[in-house]
A and B are shown apart, each in its own frame.
Chain A
Amino acid sequence: MSNIILIGANHKTAPVEIREKLSFSGDETLAALEHLKQDTQIREGLVFSTCNRLEILYIPETGDQIEAMIQFIADHKGIAVSEFRSSLYILEGDEAIRHMFCVAASLDSMMVGEPQILGQVKQAYKTAVKVGASGVLLNRMMHKSFSVAKRVRKETGIGDNAVSISYAAIELANKIFSDLSAKSVMLLGAGEMAELAVEHLMTHNVKNIVVANRTFENALALARKFKGSAVQYEEREAALVDVDIIISSTGATDYVLTRDQVKRAMKKRNHNTIFFIDIAVPRDIDPRINKISNAYVYDIDDLKNIVETNISQREQETIKAGRFVEEALVSFKKWLEGLSVVPTIKAINDKMTSIVDMEFDKTLTSLRHLPPEDVEALRRMTRAIASRAIHDPILFLRNTGEHRDDSLYLNVARQLFNLDISDSK
């Protein structure tokens, strides 16, 4: 049986400096796949690389080819083996398959459940198919990994919960406002935290960003970065009239926005909904503002609480997802084991025999007058026809030739005779 081997490094095993060096760009991936395709020692190969991980999946022709593959990575990326050897994990057989399924289902991600990874895996698969580096086994395995990922997404709540502060804040904003792209954001304070939060919001395409900061130059710099505008720190109350989300992270010791200020602003904005996200410690936004109608205030502790509840919920869902992965692994292995000569021939034989027997019995019901010995002779004849009909295909499967890929022909045979019905999903 073919051995599936996976060599990789991810955020758990390699620090970011190593991951950066190991990461394959689109062109590098293409070149690597081309190389794997040419390599006579490698039957099938696939390269998957994102900023957080590198996974090289392959099936060797002989031996395990692990050292050769590590050398190949080193040559390809131009770094010394000693530099990254300890950051790698090397998995074989079940372990490799399980790992790949977990990666596709986003169970191995830095942010478990984040949805982008499946798309990236699919892209890597498409590239490998296009180059022709992957074959029957890896293709089947990747398809299986997509279906596990879909099942995990659909039947567990793993992608549902926001487990980072900025995600939790955005989720809240989405439950307050119906369309974030029509909303304006104001940053109070130009610190790093604020920048991070806005970067997340930017991916949701907010309409407009306003920055207010004690040092006006810093406000200007940040505003330029996000293609927004800057206002004077003292203008912040007036600015409340036109913005809908306020992210505050100043180092001030007092509240920078008081209840009275917001009350006045609410009247001017005709009581349209406003959402304050206060990530500063000590707090910037008077918590009593939350009592004003159509104003919502969440401070860093509130957001942390949400995140913690979500994380504990997620852990339970992860157990469920793990079960799906195991089920998929069992079903893939069953297919893999069937993909050898003897079980395939037996399955074809069984199928033909059952077909002729069924048809024969059907006809026999209207031929009651035949003596028993004639019935026997007829049955022998129908079975002989069946085994004659599949004789040549079976002979071909037994001896597919020296340099041909057994699994390819076995897979075709299994599909021609539709032998994998139970696994068709």
Chain B
Amino acid sequence: MNVADILLQCSAMVYFVSMAGYLCYLFHQKDRIQQVSFGLAALAVAIHLTSVILAGINIKGMPIHNLVQSLSMAALAVGGMFLYVQYRFNLKILGLFATGLVSILMLAVLTIPDTPVAPDKILKGVWFFSHIILIFTGEAALGLAAGAGILYLIQEQGIKGKTQGFFFKRLPSLDFLDMVSYTCITTGFALLTFGLVTGFIYAKTVWGSFWGWDLKEVFSVGAWLVYAALLHLRLYSGWRGRKSAVMSIVGFCIIIFTFLGVNLILGGHHQAFTQ
């Protein structure tokens, strides 16, 4: 076992503790607990990043050759994006969603056997590098948008239904949740757009054509269209609030399916990453 693997496991443990902290915060609402949990999340991301960089140095390339590495990269992206969103908006309770999502991903990373894959010559170069970074961070931002969307729906349900339950005091205002979700969507959408473009360019350099009717490509563009429609409807038909929240969740479900489902069920040239 090398240093990178040990660090990866360490970071997973810290993520778990951070999630437990956020769960405590949900019930007790003590700022101190939230601060510690956030600090732990930041620490976990730092350890995780170090681990991924070390792994990258080991194989002289991006460690994204199999399912475990992809999941780990996704967890890192969500963690990093959460740190940014929390820093910018201070939407504390989103931490529970983010650390929960990361914890699930890390659990998969720890349990799925890491089958070594021979480094592939084609998985190199600036286009590949930027394609991966942009797609992962973009999808992480969209994931957080879905998280904020879920919080919105919970809070909206309480206010519309006139039942001030457990969450009423614990969640911020509807406007604020909508604004966070919207900002995450615009950020994620921009990153995703550039990610797709760099992907096309990369495909051109490797396979000689921009578009290969690969199923993952098709679904990615499908998800992109859903978000494009959401933004359009929001700007021109006032699709804000509840509708926007539902759309952000639907969009993220398509992304999850694109990320895992397409490879596990349908196949395609992105196959290698999820073997």
Residue positions of A touching B, CB distance < 8 A: 160, 172, 174-179, 266-267, 270-273, 290, 293-294, 296, 298, 302, 305-306, 309
> B208 → chain A, closest Cβ, in Å?
47
A270 touching B159, Cβ below 8 Å: no
> B162 → chain A, closest Cβ, in Å?
5
Partner of A272, one of B172, B176, B240: B240
CA distance A296 to B158 in the complex (A): 11
| Residues of B contacting A177 in the complex (Cβ-Cβ under 8 angstroms) | 173-175
A160 touching B169, Cβ below 8 Å: yes
Per-residue CB contact flags for chain B residues 153-179 toward chain A (1 = under 8 Å, else 0) read 001000110101000110111111001
Partner of A178, one of B159, B162, B179, B239: B179
Closest to A162 in B: B164
Closest to A291 in B: B160
A273 touching B176, Cβ below 8 Å: no
B173 touching A178, Cβ below 8 Å: yes
> B25 → chain A, closest Cβ, in Å?
15
Residue positions of B touching A, CB distance < 8 A: 155, 159-160, 162, 164, 168-169, 171-176, 179, 237-243
> A304 → chain B, closest Cβ, in Å?
11
Partner of B176, one of A178, A293, A298, A302: A178
CA distance A294 to B159 in the complex (A): 11
B243 touching A175, Cβ below 8 Å: no
Closest to B175 in A: A178
B238 touching A176, Cβ below 8 Å: no
> A160 → chain B, closest Cβ, in Å?
7
B241 touching A294, Cβ below 8 Å: yes
| Residues of B contacting A294 in the complex (Cβ-Cβ under 8 angstroms) | 240-242
Given known contacts A160-B169, A302-B162, A309-B164, A176 and B240 CB-to-CB distance under 8 angstroms? no
CA distance A302 to B159 in the complex (A): 11
Partner of A306, one of B164, B173, B175: B164
Closest to A267 in B: B238
Partner of A271, one of B164, B173, B179, B240: B240
B173 touching A176, Cβ below 8 Å: yes
CA distance A270 to B241 in the complex (A): 11
CA distance A177 to B155 in the complex (A): 12
A273 touching B174, Cβ below 8 Å: yes
CA distance A294 to B169 in the complex (A): 20
CA distance A273 to B174 in the complex (A): 9
A293 touching B241, Cβ below 8 Å: yes
CA distance A160 to B169 in the complex (A): 9
CA distance A136 to B169 in the complex (A): 41
CA distance A190 to B171 in the complex (A): 34
- A172-B159, A267-B238, A273-B240 given; name 14 further pairs at CB < 8 Å: A175-B159, A175-B172, A177-B173, A178-B172, A178-B176, A270-B238, A271-B238, A271-B241, A272-B238, A272-B240, A273-B174, A273-B241, A293-B242, A296-B159
A176 touching B241, Cβ below 8 Å: no
| Residues of B contacting A302 in the complex (Cβ-Cβ under 8 angstroms) | 162
A296 touching B238, Cβ below 8 Å: no
CA distance A175 to B152 in the complex (A): 11
Going nearest first, the 4 A-B pairs with the smallest beta carbon separation are A271-B238, A178-B176, A178-B175, A270-B238
Could you list 24 A-B pairs, sorted by A, with CB under 8 Å?
A172-B159, A174-B173, A175-B159, A175-B168, A175-B171, A175-B172, A176-B159, A177-B173, A177-B175, A178-B173, A178-B175, A178-B176, A178-B179, A267-B238, A271-B238, A271-B241, A272-B238, A272-B240, A273-B241, A293-B241, A293-B242, A293-B243, A298-B162, A309-B164
| Residues of A contacting B240 in the complex (Cβ-Cβ under 8 angstroms) | 270-273, 294
B164 touching A176, Cβ below 8 Å: no
CA distance A401 to B48 in the complex (A): 72
| Residues of A contacting B175 in the complex (Cβ-Cβ under 8 angstroms) | 176-179, 273
Closest to A290 in B: B160
| Residues of A contacting B176 in the complex (Cβ-Cβ under 8 angstroms) | 178
> B223 → chain A, closest Cβ, in Å?
24
| Residues of A contacting B243 in the complex (Cβ-Cβ under 8 angstroms) | 293
> B86 → chain A, closest Cβ, in Å?
17
Closest to B238 in A: A271
| Residues of B contacting A298 in the complex (Cβ-Cβ under 8 angstroms) | 162
| Residues of A contacting B160 in the complex (Cβ-Cβ under 8 angstroms) | 290, 296
> B217 → chain A, closest Cβ, in Å?
34
CA distance A294 to B244 in the complex (A): 11
> A1 → chain B, closest Cβ, in Å?
40
| Residues of B contacting A293 in the complex (Cβ-Cβ under 8 angstroms) | 241-243
Closest to B179 in A: A178
CA distance A366 to B138 in the complex (A): 70
> B101 → chain A, closest Cβ, in Å?
25
CA distance A306 to B162 in the complex (A): 8
> A19 → chain B, closest Cβ, in Å?
34
| Residues of A contacting B159 in the complex (Cβ-Cβ under 8 angstroms) | 172, 175-176, 296
> A296 → chain B, closest Cβ, in Å?
6
> A18 → chain B, closest Cβ, in Å?
38
Q: Which of B155, B168, B174 has the most CB of A within 10 A?
A: B174
> B154 → chain A, closest Cβ, in Å?
12
Closest to B171 in A: A175
| Residues of B contacting A271 in the complex (Cβ-Cβ under 8 angstroms) | 237-241
B174 touching A176, Cβ below 8 Å: yes
CA distance A296 to B159 in the complex (A): 8
CA distance A266 to B240 in the complex (A): 12
CA distance A296 to B175 in the complex (A): 13
| Residues of A contacting B164 in the complex (Cβ-Cβ under 8 angstroms) | 306, 309
| Residues of B contacting A305 in the complex (Cβ-Cβ under 8 angstroms) | 162
> A257 → chain B, closest Cβ, in Å?
18
CA distance A290 to B157 in the complex (A): 12
